Chain A
Amino acid sequence: MNRHNILYFFREGVKSIFSHGFMSLASVTVMITCLLLTGTVLLLVLSVNLTIESMVTLGDIRAYVDETYTREEAEALENKLRMIPNVSGVDFIPNDRALEEMRDEFGTDAWLLDGLEYDNPLRHSYRIMVVDIDEYDQTIDDIESVPGIAEVHSSRESVNRLSVIRNVLGTVSIALVLLLGAVAVVIISNTIKLATFDRREEIAIMKMIGATDGFIRFPFIVESVILSQVAALIAFGLQWLAYTYIVSIGLSSIELIEMVDFSTVRYYFLGGFMGIAFVFGVLGSIISIRKFLRV
């Protein structure tokens, strides 16, 4: 297989695409649809994930120390908290700082809090950050069981709910990839079947003059690769445009969901689309040519 043949394979592959243009168009369209659907679900998963992450890593866990503890005793808890698995950061907030923070929040009404610094009613507390969101529940239980921790505030409920949504979406996206992948393989293999049918006499001639199966097969593989890569590129472009548009019309202004910035994932999407389309394209073409080579 030399470089002159590579040109030949490419030319034949392109010619073949146009010799049954409608079917080629249909298979590209179906593949684009499959990729777009999968991509959209994936973007949703990523957005939900981002939302969860930003909720948790901002240090949403606040552990309050028993009010009978002195400041020194409260500070001594830090080591115990740090030793809990999955805890990435611990920030001690003595009650005087908590009061200051409160003052800041009150703004012009801060005078309401005047005098409290002599008999601070607030408790010492810790702000705690975690590594793995999947361990979130367990970590909170661990924090609660530390002697001296009276109460833990967290966005456990929301995180759990979002986790469920994310997991469902994740499963849906895997199912979609498989299902739509099967659809793509079928449509590609039918397109290539048509291509080999167009060329059945030539294939028979090629076999009689000593062409190897690989030589006969290659133009059809090239055809399916071209089709699949064209579909991947178009799907990527559409996904980018559509998503940017959705973000721009302000879906992200719904506070609840933080949306992924497409530019941070575009190379993964481009690579992913092209890779998936490539695999399904080649699979589809190999399946359909196999039968034709038995001459």
Chain B
Amino acid sequence: MIRINDVYQSYGPGTRALKGIDLRIDDGEFVFIVGPSGSGKSTLAKLITAELRPSEGRVVVNDFNTSKMKMSEVPYLRRTLGIVFQDFRLIERKTVYENVEFAMRIVGASPREIKRRVSYVLDLVGILHKARRKPTELSGGEQQRVAIARALVNNPNTIIADEPTGNLDPDRSLEIMMLLQHINDLGTTVIVVTHEKELVNQFDKRVVAIDGGLIISDRQGGYFQYEQT
């Protein structure tokens, strides 16, 4: 569960990326965060992942209050999240399997758990047959599946993806979105930051629209509604 109250975020004097954001995302929701370039979408995502701490206001993510918590608690907050990036961020010298396995190793999982769980998530994202490949041998869509498998492997409460389809063609993008929807159906909260309206419009989901650092619309279904307001 995510609670954002009256948050302002500035990058140094005179650059305000967020100007008073209030947002609540409950467990099990699927939320698109949309808006034009420079509107503050990534800034909002970084507040949730504790890459940034709010200049003003309060951000609470899965019971972690990011404005108050210690540096040493950040890893534990991130273990409740699965973070997915536009550029996949896989470790190139490791195989697909090892990339996913590594995420479990970090949290100190036992080899038995690792074996079971890694195969399960690789199968879930449909990439198990390429488990022994290196990321460089995969297409962009396949790499993003691996990244999603890695995000999922520690059973996080929330998946947060900033432009997960930014590097993919429309068909691949749709597949990834459908995969995220499937993951959401299995009970995980999913937050997707994007500016691809065609894509958003193919799903009937909650859409939070940001412009100029403010939330200008927050409702069920469709990117077009944000353009009309």
Contacts and interface: CB of A to CB of B under 8 A. Distances in A.
Nearest to B111: A4
A209 B81 CA distance: 8
Contacts of A212: 72, 75
Interface of B: 49, 51, 72, 74-79, 83, 85, 89-91, 102-103, 105-108, 110-111, 150-151, 154
A4, A205, A206, A209 — most chain B CB neighbours (10 Å)? A209
B49 A208 contact: yes
A288 B12 CA distance: 27
A220 to B, nearest CB: 16
Contacts of B108: 1-2, 5
Nearest to A8: B105
B76 A210 contact: yes
Given A210-B75, A210-B78, A202 B105 contact: no
Contacts of A215: 106
B150 A209 contact: yes
A113 B110 CA distance: 92
A8 B102 CA distance: 10
B91 A205 contact: yes
Contacts of A204: 89
A208 B150 CA distance: 11
A209 B85 CA distance: 12
Given A202-B91, A204-B89, A210-B75, 10 more contacts: A4-B110, A207-B74, A207-B75, A207-B78, A209-B78, A209-B103, A210-B77, A210-B107, A211-B75, A213-B72
Interface string A1-12: 110110010000
28 contacts: A1-B108, A2-B108, A2-B110, A4-B105, A4-B110, A4-B111, A8-B105, A201-B89, A204-B89, A205-B89, A206-B106, A207-B74, A207-B75, A208-B49, A208-B78, A208-B83, A208-B89, A209-B78, A209-B83, A209-B103, A210-B103, A210-B154, A211-B75, A211-B106, A212-B75, A213-B72, A213-B75, A215-B106
A212 B78 CA distance: 10
Contacts of B102: 209
Which secondary structure characterizes the binding site on chain A?
helix
A1 B103 CA distance: 14
Contacts of A209: 78, 83, 102-103, 106, 150-151, 154
B99 to A, nearest CB: 9
Nearest to A1: B108
Contacts of A211: 75, 106
Contacts of A213: 72, 75
A210 B104 CA distance: 10
Contacts of B151: 209
Interface string A211-238: 1110100000000000000000000000
